[in-house]
Amino acid sequence: MKQAFTLGIPFKLCRMAGLLGLLVLLAPPARARPSQVQLARQFLLAVLRGDYEHAYQLLAPEVSAAITPAHFRAAARPLYEKGQQFRPAIDLYKLGLRIGEANDVRNFYSFMFKSDTLATRPQVQLDVTFRDSTATRILSFGLVPAPQGKVKAPE
């Protein structure tokens, strides 16, 4: 009778290691923390569809402590109205850093309505600001009107 070659590792241990490896492969991937641009987009889309409760939850704690949901709704209403005017589909327009008067640096993300895509510049920008590059809550938001071009006087 032939004898099987073994490494001296008990069969049950090999089987358990195999099952553990299979579980690791089948486990859902860990969800990465959303980026600031994703959070800004999520916030603006919530405001544009009138879901003020969800958008309010995305505000920085110091902001939500300073304003009531009713005041937030009033502050967000102009964005909602622009969304009704231009349709609520948005695209990232620009991002960067703003340096304040006290030399504080804030990350900002500006979005434009997709209906403005073919324009030389968007008629309005939807602006979202974060405290710093690691913040995961919105510090401020607002509408930024497009700069008005100079009108040439007839010669």
24 within domain boundaries: no
What distance in Å separates the CA atoms of residue 120 and residue 149, rounded to the nearest whole number? 11
Strands (E), 27-148: 90-99, 105-113, 124-130, 138-145
β-partners of residue 127 are: 110, 142
53 within domain boundaries: yes
pLDDT in tens, 126-140: 999 999 999 999 999
Total residues found in the chain within this entry: 155
CA 59 from centroid of its chain's CA atoms: 12
Q: How confident is the model at residue 9, as a pLDDT? A: 58
Return mean pLDDT, the chain. 84
Spell 82-103 as b/e; 16+ CB within 10 A means b: bbeebebebeebeeeeeeeeee
Domain membership of residue 50 as a residue range = 36-145
25 within domain boundaries: no
1 within domain boundaries: no
pLDDT higher for 146 or 8? 146
96 within domain boundaries: yes
pTM of the complete model beyond 0.85: no
- Token couple for 54: 């969800």
62 within domain boundaries: yes
pLDDT in tens, 31-82: 788 999 999 999 999 999 999 999 999 999 999 999 999 999 999 999 999 9
- The CATH number for 114's domain is 3.10.450
CA distances from 97 to 66, 82, 120, 129 (A): 24, 25, 23, 9
pLDDT higher for 78 or 23? 78
Q: How many structural domains does the chain have?
A: 1
Residue range 79-97: mean pLDDT, rounded? 93
**Region at 50 (left for phi over 0; alpha for psi -120 to 50; beta for the rest):** left
